[in-house]
Amino acid sequence: MGHEVSLVALNAKKNHHEFSEDDKQLLSKINYRAFDIDTNVSVLEVAINLLSKTSFNIDRYYDAEFERLLIHELRKSNFDIIQFEGLMVSLYLNAVRKNSKAKLVYRLHNIENQIWQRLSMQKTDPFKKSYLKMHAKRIKNYELKQLNNFDAIAVFTSQDKGTLLEYGVKIPIAVLPLGINLDLYNPDPAKTDYPSLFFLGSLDWLPNREGMEWFLENFVHDLTEGDLRVRFYVAGNDIPDSFDDFEVMGKIFIQGEVDDALEFINSKAIMIVPLLSGGGMRVKIVEGMAMQKCIISTNLGAEGIHFEDGVNMLIANNQEEFYDAIHRCITDEEYCKQIGLNARKLVEEQHDANKVTRNLVDFYDTVV
């Protein structure tokens, strides 16, 4: 849209990003600087953190050298807007405020304390439940201190906006859903294996791992010996070695990372999102909808998406509902395809990056 954009990024060692051709094309149009940071935490550091009032899940993203690099970049240019992507980089808010006259916008990916609180509610082990609740409380305290220190906040969902208002946020808040470049999403039904079931996501994110463990533990028998006669594929990065125990030849495939995520999505028919905790808007759901996939998700997984159950997505919140939804989709191909076609139409209407970006720039104009 003719704006000058700079990106200063933290590149975490644990999930170091390799650039695709699309990435490189984008980076040629912006000013880009990256800084490698090791966010791994030792057992000793975790133990010491128990005596602290802050959470290591936030503290591990602070690096003094990166802060110096950031200040150097700020002093070279006069920015109108500086956008903080997620809670972790808000650790550098004070340094940015001191070294720039720009308006500071917080792009809230998730309400972080909700993730930890919801994770704790899923645990039966008293120690794990208490540990997760402790981190939820610490993260919430940090979030509440930071939120009104920005000039404006952009959230993905109306649910998150409502929560922020309950928290007492006084600055402007805009709901701007996830936007994707639809030119990159070209479904080819001729290459789709029907029936087939799949999950795609990062398993180093605790809500994803928890949801997949629940699904596999509850459905391994139905998928291998029962009435759900469908091949199931699990793909994504950082899949724990323990997931290999669920693999069953010709029935359950634990694939790990895939070379081309969109090609993988296109090749499968039904996407499941058994999310039991977490928050915000799920990127993979929007991408799956753009690829005309029939998606079965919990209400929590579909949060922020203006779906209509049974029209452009199927909602299942427990084992029985997931079973019924999967059974219907694998036995009625036309129904499955129609859900996918309706899903694509919804994404075109509400998640086109061009439309979302125009709304974002309009929001910036009100802030500046």
- pLDDT-derived band of residue 124, with 50, 70 and 90 as boundaries? confident
For residues 163 and 260, state if they share a domain.
Answer: no
d(CA 100, CA 96): 6
Please report, as a single letter, which amino acid is at residue 20: S
What is the tens place of the pLDDT at every residue in 156-215? 989 899 999 999 999 999 999 999 999 999 999 999 999 999 999 989 888 899 999 999
For residues 295 and 190, state if they share a domain.
Answer: yes
Mean pLDDT of 37-55: 77
For residues 288 and 359, state if they share a domain.
Answer: no
DSSP secondary structure letter of residue 32: E
Mean pLDDT of 277-283: 73
For residues 13 and 98, state if they share a domain.
Answer: yes
- pLDDT-derived band of residue 56, with 50, 70 and 90 as boundaries? confident
Rounded to the nearest 10°, the torsion over CA 337, 296, 17, 75 is 100
Q: How many CA atoms lie within 13 A of 209 on its CB side?
A: 13
Return the CA Rg of the chain.
21
Residue 50 or residue 236, greater confidence: 236
Mean pLDDT of 249-273: 95
**Count of Cβ atoms closer than 10 Å to residue 313 Cβ:** 26
**Short-list 220, 229, 197, 222, CA closest to 295:** 197
Number of domains present in the structure of the chain: 2
d(CA 66, CA 54): 20
Would you say residue 41 lies in a domain? Answer: yes
The predicted structure's pLDDT at residue 50: 73
Task: Report residue 306 CA to chain centroid gap.
Answer: 17
- pLDDT-derived band of residue 279, with 50, 70 and 90 as boundaries? low
For residues 309 and 215, state if they share a domain.
Answer: yes
Q: Write out the two tokens for 183.
A: 């030119």
The predicted structure's pLDDT at residue 207: 86
Would you say residue 227 lies in a domain? Answer: yes
d(CA 296, CA 1): 36
The predicted structure's pLDDT at residue 14: 59
For residues 186 and 306, state if they share a domain.
Answer: yes
When the pLDDT of each residue in the chain is averaged and rounded to a whole number, the result is 91
The predicted structure's pLDDT at residue 147: 95
Would you say residue 58 lies in a domain? Answer: yes
Would you say residue 75 lies in a domain? Answer: yes
Would you say residue 79 lies in a domain? Answer: yes
- pLDDT-derived band of residue 288, with 50, 70 and 90 as boundaries? very high
The predicted structure's pLDDT at residue 127: 86
DSSP assignments along 263-304, one per residue: HHHHHEEEEEE---S--S--HHHHHHHHTT-EEEE-TTTTTT
Q: Write out the two tokens for 74.
A: 């700020």
Distances (CA, A) of 366 to 153, 154, 161, 283, 346: 12, 12, 18, 27, 28
For residues 162 and 235, state if they share a domain.
Answer: no
Mean pLDDT of 276-298: 89
The predicted structure's pLDDT at residue 128: 86
For residues 359 and 251, state if they share a domain.
Answer: no
Q: Is the distance from CB of 146 to CB of 90 less than 8 angstroms?
A: yes
For tokens 């809670």, what's the residue? 87
Q: At what angle do helices 333-350 and 283-290 cross, to 10 degrees?
A: 110
Q: Is the pLDDT of residue 20 over 90?
A: no
Mean pLDDT of 117-141: 87
Mean pLDDT of 309-333: 97
- pLDDT-derived band of residue 42, with 50, 70 and 90 as boundaries? confident
Would you say residue 1 lies in a domain? Answer: no
For residues 150 and 234, state if they share a domain.
Answer: no
Q: Is the pLDDT of residue 117 over 60?
A: yes
3-state secondary structure of 62: coil
For residues 42 and 103, state if they share a domain.
Answer: yes
d(CA 328, CA 323): 9
Would you say residue 358 lies in a domain? Answer: yes
DSSP secondary structure letter of residue 312: T
For residues 272 and 358, state if they share a domain.
Answer: no
Domain carrying residue 336: 182-350
> Which CATH number does the domain housing residue 340 bear?
3.40.50.2000
d(CA 97, CA 6): 17
The predicted structure's pLDDT at residue 98: 96
Mean pLDDT of 74-99: 95
For residues 114 and 147, state if they share a domain.
Answer: yes
For tokens 């999505």, what's the residue? 265
Would you say residue 62 lies in a domain? Answer: yes
For tokens 């299942």, what's the residue? 316
